[in-house]
Amino acid sequence: MTNEKLIKLAASVVKSKKMGDNTSGDVGCALITEKGKTYTGVCIDTMSGMGFCAEHAAIAAMVTAREYKIKKIVAVWKDKKRKVHVLHPCGRCREFMRQINKQNMDAEIILGKDRTAKLKELLPYKDDYSQV
């Protein structure tokens, strides 16, 4: 699957919904696994900090299907004019991907229409406490 198609898939699940003081669906994520299956998810933002990123939701859907290896992943947000913007994964999401399967260090992270990086480039220091 091309980066553009995965970005469009992630954008297709972005449907912001206000739920009292909370929101959901402001950010969408799509990923493709080594087996070629795609999974999507949206973020949930809560005032208490118990919410989660769209990457977590998509990865949870993948794990529910008993898959653990990410080939490529992207998260997006739409502005008020509905223009799609690719978002870089936060540190928590980067670490979450690594902990799901250490082989995910080779997952391709889409950082823009024509820009990608391996997870290991974004999260280079993994479980190395020798310098502490």
19-30 in b/e burial notation, b at 16+ Cβ within 10 A? Answer: eeeebbbbbbbb
Residues comprising the chain, all counted: 132
Q: What is the mean pLDDT of residues 78-93?
A: 93
Contact 33, 71 (CB under 8 A): yes
Q: Which residue has the tokens 């469009």?
A: 8
Domain spans, the chain = 3-122
- Cα 44 to the chain's mean position, in Å? 13
Closest to 83 in 3D by CA, of 113, 54, 59: 113
User: Is pLDDT of 45 > 90?
Assistant: no
pLDDT at res. 124: 72
Q: CATH says 3-122 is which class? A: alpha beta
Q: What is the pLDDT of residues 53-80, one digit of tens each?
A: 999 999 999 999 999 999 999 999 998 8
pTM: 0.89
Q: What is the mean pLDDT of residues 80-96?
A: 94
Q: What is the pLDDT of residues 104-128, one digit of tens each?
A: 999 999 999 899 999 999 987 666 5
Residue type, 1: M
